[in-house]
Amino acid sequence: MNHDDLAYWSKRAADWAQAYHAGLRDRPVRGQTAPGETAANLPAAPPEAPEPVETIFADFEALVPGAMTHWQHPRFFAYFPSNASPASMLAEQLANAMAAQCMLWQTSPAATEIEQVMVSWLRQALGLSDRFTGTIHDSATTATLSAVLTMRERALGWAGNSEGLAGQPRLRIYASAQTHSSVDKAVRIAGIGQENLVKVATDADFAMDPTALDAAIRADLMAGRVPAGVILCVGATGIGATDPIAACAAVARAHGLYIHVDAAWAGSAMICPEFRDLWEGIETVDSLVFNPHKWLGVQFDCSVQFLADPAPQVRTLGLRPDYLQTLGQAEVTDFNEWTVPLGRRFRALKLWFTLRAYGLEGLRTRIRNHVSWAAEARDAIAALPGIEIVTEPRLSLFTFALNDEAATADLLTRVNDDGRTYLTQTRHEGRLVIRVQVGPFDCTREDVLTIPRVLADLTR
Ligand SMILES: *Cc1c(COP(=O)(O)O)cnc(C)c1O
């Protein structure tokens, strides 16, 4: 296969994509396949001789789509969305064609500069002041890891990177029990250790209690441990719990701690001014991550981290060996110094295309619709006999359950085998609950109201 063949096959792929998207509503949302089924259809060993693309393409059509879960399905209400607008798909196609490695300004001047401008556009879109600059990561997990490594090095006076962690004081990181497992992963990878991630008590609304945070920090100081940072959540994954940013940040700041906010899902909603009360006080934090690849329609992967001052993170992560220096251009930004991996994809392009193709108004309308349709779906589900709403909608996420755990699990299995919609579960205060989050880029009110219809059919 050569580049002339690629042009032909790209057109075939584009036609396939159009038909695939047009037919999504007729497909079951969750992959209806058993473990091992796809692998059993593939040869165990790689081919020695080249094969015609026609054959490869035909095998793709025969084996893959039917065994996939359809994340762009308009009735995908599981987990959180991973939306890919058509404009972001187009941008990815162009980025793929250039296949650039965007580690340095010099290796990708336009990519670096569009990334800087996109971070600034998003900062304005979210209503943040020009106190923040930022960068694009592959995922929120990596952004949070970058923040935790920065907390570690800042607290150790940058001795961890040079001397290692043996013999260093015991560092402490604080987060609520509602925070995402990526925080646990970050403290493990950073060598801080799971036991030093303090899960601070939450209030009746599952938000971190600032008084409990203060008490935990003081207790650690008394015990000779070294508090390093606080991680707050806005729209946590389970039920959308949100910490009071202003009050918790004030406590952290009083103790000189670094503050990172995980708004991976809910951050996108902040393009709508009416939701910004949720993160009141956000201007006082050091670092903040949100995923345009969730609710904003920018194809995975695209996670944006805002930083009040990039210097501590660049000091933690940046290395400039001789072969990576950009001679004679000391003033340019080399974004690899802001992130964990050296190599970087051209992720800013799909932000540029998406923000322009829909405009902030188009994106706001989608999010507002999702929030109001979630409220409608909540009311319709609450009216079904035997079903109890367990947590009320936070933005477009709420949970429900039957009164018996086995019945809840059984209902979820039957919903997902039915295929008209796709929901997933979490455990809230020990209770198995079914999550509903409304977020597919192209869903309609009808699509959302399918959820109560399916539940009515299956609980009758
Ligand atoms: C999805 C999510 C993450 C993880 O995001 P990745 O980009 O997949 O790493 C972290 N925190 C919250 C609150 C999330 O919703």
Mutate to test the pocket of ligand 1, among 71, 231, 265 (most ligand atoms within 8 A of CB): 265
Consecutive H or E run containing 416: helix 405-418
Residues in the chain: 460
Average pLDDT of the segment spanning 48-66? 97
Q: How far is the CA of 442 from the centre of ligand 1 (A)?
A: 22
Return the bridge partners of 200, or none: 176
Q: Scan for tokens 């319709």, then name that residue.
A: 380
Question: 426-440, pLDDT tens digit by residue?
Answer: 999 999 999 999 999
Looking from the CA of residue 139, the nearest atom of ligand 1 is 7
Q: How far is CA 455 from CA 77, 92, 151, 328, in A?
A: 13, 37, 46, 65
d(CA 309, CA 378): 41
Amino acid at 460: R
Question: 96-115, pLDDT tens digit by residue?
Answer: 999 999 999 999 999 999 99
pLDDT band, residue 325 (cuts 50/70/90):
confident
How is the chain split into domains, by residue range? Answer: 101-345
Contact 279 CB / ligand 1 (< 6 Å): no
> Rounded to the nearest 5°, which phi and psi values hold at 258?
-80, 140
Q: How far is CA 345 from CA 3, 139, 300, 318, in A?
A: 21, 12, 12, 18
Q: Does domain 101-345 have CATH number 3.40.50.360?
A: no
Query: What is the dihedral sign for C-alpha 105, 299, 91, 355?
Result: negative
Q: How far is the CA of 215 from the centre of ligand 1 (A)?
A: 28
Contact 178 CB / ligand 1 (< 6 Å): no
Return the bridge partners of 259, or none: 230
Return the bridge partners of 262, or none: 233, 289
CB count in 10 Å sphere of residue 204: 6
Contact 295 CB / ligand 1 (< 6 Å): no
- Strands laid side by side in the 387-394 sheet: 387-394, 397-402, 431-437, 424-428
Q: What is the pLDDT of residue 319?
A: 85
Note the helical H segments in 196-277.
210-222, 245-254
Q: What is the pLDDT of residue 324?
A: 75
CB-based contacts of 385, cutoff 8 Å, min separation 6: 459
Q: What is the pLDDT of residue 327?
A: 67
Mutate to test the pocket of ligand 1, among 83, 231, 239, 262 (most ligand atoms within 8 A of CB): 262
CB-based contacts of 321, cutoff 8 Å, min separation 6: none
Mean per-residue pLDDT of the chain? 96
Q: Scan for tokens 């009416």, then name that residue.
A: 274
Contact 265 CB / ligand 1 (< 6 Å): yes
How many CA atoms lie less than 13 Å away from 66 in the CB half-sphere? 10
Question: 338-380, pLDDT tens digit by residue?
Answer: 999 999 999 999 999 999 999 999 999 999 999 999 999 999 9
Contact 421 CB / ligand 1 (< 6 Å): no
Q: What is the pLDDT of residue 392?
A: 97
Q: What is the dihedral of CA 16, 19, 24, 25, to 10 degrees?
A: -170
Contact 16, 64 (CB under 8 A): no
Residue nearest to atom 8 of ligand 1 (CA): 139
Question: 383-404, pLDDT tens digit by residue?
Answer: 999 999 999 999 999 999 999 9
d(CA 70, CA 21): 10
d(CA 213, CA 174): 8
Q: How far is the CA of 153 from the centre of ligand 1 (A)?
A: 24
d(CA 322, CA 162): 19
Contact 182 CB / ligand 1 (< 6 Å): yes
Strand locations in 241-386, DSSP E? 258-262, 287-290, 303-307
pLDDT band, residue 75 (cuts 50/70/90):
very high
Contact 326 CB / ligand 1 (< 6 Å): no
The predicted model scores a pTM of 0.95
